[in-house]
Structure 1
Amino acid sequence: MDRKCIYCGKVKDLSESDIIPDALTNARILNKNVCRIEHNNKFSDMFESKVINALSFITNKLDIKSSKGKNYAAYNATITIDGSEYNLSLHGNNNIFNGRVLKSSDKTQMLSSYEKMVKISKDESKVHPVDVNHLEIEKRVPINYEIFYSQSMYRMISKIAFEWYCAQNSVIGYHQEFDNIISFITTGKGENPVSIIQESELYMYLTKQVDLGSHTLFAFESHEEINVVISLFGLLMYRVVVSKIKPKFCSKNFLFTELRTDSSREKIEHDSLETAEAYFSDLIKRIPSIKHCEIEFMISTEPNPRLLLYPFIFDMIKCFKNIQNDAKAPNENLNNILRKQLETIIQTFTLHKKSIKRFVKDIFVEGHSPIQLNPHTNDKNSILLFYVVYLVGSSNINKLNDNIFQNLLREHLSLYKSEELVVTNEITSQFKKKILENDNYPDILEKGAHIIKQWNN
């Protein structure tokens, strides 16, 4: 069947639309039935770019980068150095000095290399040398809470829900069943199909079941409506009414997708909740069992991860169907949920190959000076990553692979779930102390960085 745009029905100049903007995910999903200019490229200027820019700190934190660019998105931060504030634009782990000239917010201080400052001031007496490794440095990143409740976010979430549902059902061309959501996405007018789940227990349940920073999408039929619930990074759950009546041409109305930050994904699709439950029941029946003392025990030599995933999805969708108190605008309850979910992402660090290799590439650049850790730094994530490099350098490992790396982390960091670690002041103080107690730590860091750079090279 010929391809046609799902927004307008055009058959010419179609493109592959990133259902979730490429800059917001490492696990791309596409809809091939979107016209290139009007209903793909223009959406970026209309609403997507505003959301992408506002969430740049989150994507940096989760090691998410657009496949179309070389650098991670820049985010704004306020750095306090020796009592003076500096407003900077940062790209992840790069050294905040990095050869640049820092100007304090009140315009009274400048900070850079001694040679550069002498050249700028033209008077060496006005330049005072300082050792940045003994300055107390604090970094603060402002979070734009308003973006989560903005028209741009609602339009982007609607676009994700609509294009994903259509892609899962192989929808081709324009259909009037989607009139309202199409109008809202393309013009911002009409009835807003988006509301926000505000049951805090559901957020706690979701956080325990999916990977840190994942996007999760659920589609289901509720009172003849087709609903899609989207959890963006695990921060807020948005419910989208894709259609107020069940489209007769869409057979798959029980859908689940998890898109993880490591590019992996999980996908489940069925016609309905009833067929999904029947499939799950059949899975259970296929598990070998033995009888002992009249008690039957289920055993399985190769556990199927979907045995745990299906009950979770069933629970979530049944809760979504029963909830009647969605919010359309921010309130104290939603703000509390958002703050707690943000705190979980900020304080929890997922250690994997991509994050550690990115850190080493940013910090251990060619020709760099020996690393001297600042004993006053409060950058918990950087301390953790330096400690991982230190562990690699101080081990007997000469070559890394995924298995060796994960065993090293489990041995020294006591990681249990998906290599996630809650980064607290107490634990990072211990890591920093262990590194600084070794007078030879700069050489050990260099050795660790070299091994990590060669990982799979």
Structure 2
Amino acid sequence: MENQCIYCGIASDLSKSDIIPDALTNAKIINPNVCRIEHNNKFSDLFEGEVIRKLALITNGLDIKSSKSKTYASYSTQINIDGTEYSTKISSETELFRNKKMRSVGGKFLFGPIEEIKKIKVANDKNITQIDVNQIEIEKKVNIDLSVFFSESMYRMMAKIAFEWYCLQNDISGKVEAFEPIIQFITNGIGDDIVKIVGNEELYSTLKVTTNFGSHTLLSYVAKDNSVNILVSLFGIAIYNIKICDSVIDKCRNNVIFQELSLDAKRVQFKFDTFEHFKHDFHNKFTEVELGNGVKAKIPKDMTDVSIQYQFFYGTNFTLFQVDLQCANKPNEKIINLIIKNMEDTLQSSAVTLRGLKRFVKENFNSFDEEIKLNPKGTNKKAVFMFYLLFIVGQSNGAIKDLSDLNKELKDKFSGETIGISDEVICKLNDEIFSTADYSDIILKGAKTIDSWNYE
């Protein structure tokens, strides 16, 4: 059968649609059955572009970059330097001190590299003050528009992600009449109660401990009313419930589906037609062993099967999916506070990825033979943490050979691969770095080592 667009059914000029916009994920997933002009290219202008722009701080902080761009997403920020506030737009904090001039709020002051400021005609010794940025406190403030999580653009993008993903998982090619309500919502914004935002705190917390930091998670389930629904977790910050169709249809047999897309582009997935077959498969993954004194226990037959923890999550939360998601289609105080907390946790934590390490090295080191002078008064917690990673790699004298070795070291130090960067943690890291006389040489050595590491 000839492939056709899942939105309109035409067979000509089909394209590969990024199910999740390229700028929002490092793990590309494609639906090849979307017509290029009407139902692929236009979505960027209709709703995806707005969401991408408003989530720039999050994607930047998670080291997610569009494959179509040479730089990470830029975001607006206010910088307080020595008591004066400046407004600027940056994609990296290193831009603040490398040939970038910033005008203060009100326009009275200009801040930038001394060589650049001196080039200005009116500049002279009387109206220029030289500041050592390593000896002053620099505060950065960023405002995030929370309304983006509840916007029509976000809801239409979530519906698009869920619909294209579900069709991909069921090998759908061509337009299916049962999908008309969600198609109308995606393409024209017409329809009610297609997308809702989940408010159940238990689901957020159990998903957080099951999946990797900053990942996207998608899963399908059949509700009590026999409707087919998709849950989409965006970075673990907000979870959306999308109704795909009013009932299970013959063309789509797979309705118990799970997929995680992590920051390092790895993915885990399982897929079954019914919940009963899912349960049967899960139980068969275990074998019963005798522990002695009549005590028996079940252990996995394959200890390397990473899907078990995800199947356990799905199975134990299936009833919750059906009856207790606590969904709302408009913001309420509980959901707003939940999203704020999740967003703060995301921006104040760090997952160690090779992409992120290499980016940090590239942005902070013009060469590996210049002295590194850190600011003991710096308030950028993530930067302190990243410099500490370079420090322990350099200090290992070659014992830490790759990202796997580094993660093992971090597990010993922090009891996990995702580290909450609190004031207390940063204070300890700074003490360890600054108590070492040759810390600059050690950090440079670590940066050079990481720069040489290869992607898997």
Range class of TM-score, shorter chain = over 0.9
What pairs with 1:181-200 in structure 2 (closer than 5 Å)?
181-200=182-201
Q: Which residue of 2 aligns with 1:103?
A: 103
Q: Which residue of 2 aligns with 1:243?
A: 245
Q: Which residue of 1 aligns with 2:177?
A: 176
SS at match of 1:124: coil
How far apart are the structure 1 equivalents of 2:276 and 2:92? Answer: 46
Question: Does residue 456 of structure 2 align to residue 455 of structure 1?
Answer: no
What pairs with 1:372-451 in structure 2 (closer than 5 Å)?
372-397=373-398, 400-411=401-412, 414-417=413-416, 419-451=417-449
Q: Which residue of 2 aligns with 1:270?
A: 272
Letter in 2 for 1:424: S
- Runs of 4+ aligned residues of structure 1 deviating over 6 Å after TM superposition are none
Letter in 2 for 1:416: S
Q: Which residue of 1 aligns with 2:34?
A: 34
Residue correspondences, number: 452
How far apart are the structure 2 equivalents of 1:108 and 1:433? Answer: 37
Contact 1:61–1:92 under 8 Å retained in 2: no
Shift of 1:305: 3.1
Shift of 1:366: 3.5
Shift of 1:183: 0.6
Contact 2:372–2:440 under 8 Å retained in 1: yes
Shift of 1:237: 1.1
Contact 2:230–2:244 under 8 Å retained in 1: yes
Q: Which residue of 2 aligns with 1:204?
A: 205
Letter in 2 for 1:28: K
Letter in 1 for 2:415: Y
Contact 1:254–1:276 under 8 Å retained in 2: yes
How far apart are the structure 2 equivalents of 1:308 and 1:332? Answer: 32
- CA-to-partner distance for each residue in 1:431-455, whole Å, 9 max, x for gaps? 1122223332222222211111111
How far apart are the structure 1 equivalents of 2:415 and 2:267? Answer: 20
How far apart are the structure 1 equivalents of 2:333 and 2:352? Answer: 33
Change (3 A) 1:432 1:88: same
Moved more, 384-393 or 303-312: 303-312
How far apart are the structure 1 equivalents of 2:169 and 2:249? Answer: 13
Q: Which residue of 2 aligns with 1:25?
A: 25
Question: Does residue 136 of structure 2 align to residue 135 of structure 1?
Answer: yes
Root mean square deviation, CA, Å: 1.8
Contact 1:220–1:272 under 8 Å retained in 2: no
Shift of 1:291: 5.6
Q: Which residue of 2 aligns with 1:261?
A: 263
How far apart are the structure 1 equivalents of 2:310 and 2:130? Answer: 59
Question: Does residue 296 of structure 2 align to residue 296 of structure 1?
Answer: yes
Contact 1:290–1:299 under 8 Å retained in 2: no
Shift of 1:369: 5.1
Shift of 1:52: 0.5
SS at match of 1:119: coil
Contact 2:200–2:325 under 8 Å retained in 1: no
- CA-to-partner distance for each residue in 1:354-394, whole Å, 9 max, x for gaps? 21111011101248852211111111000001111111222
How far apart are the structure 2 equivalents of 1:435 and 1:282? Answer: 50
Shift of 1:398: 7.1
- For structure 1, the residue ranges without an aligned partner over 5 or more in a row are none
What pairs with 1:343-358 in structure 2 (closer than 5 Å)?
343-358=344-359
Equivalent in 231, 234, 242 of residue 232 of structure 1 = 234
Identity %, equivalent residues: 37
Contact 2:368–2:444 under 8 Å retained in 1: no
Contact 1:8–1:174 under 8 Å retained in 2: yes
Q: Which residue of 2 aligns with 1:51?
A: 51
Letter in 2 for 1:213: G
How far apart are the structure 2 equivalents of 1:53 and 1:373? Answer: 32
Question: Does residue 158 of structure 2 align to residue 157 of structure 1?
Answer: yes
Moved more, 145-154 or 114-123: 114-123
Shift of 1:255: 0.7
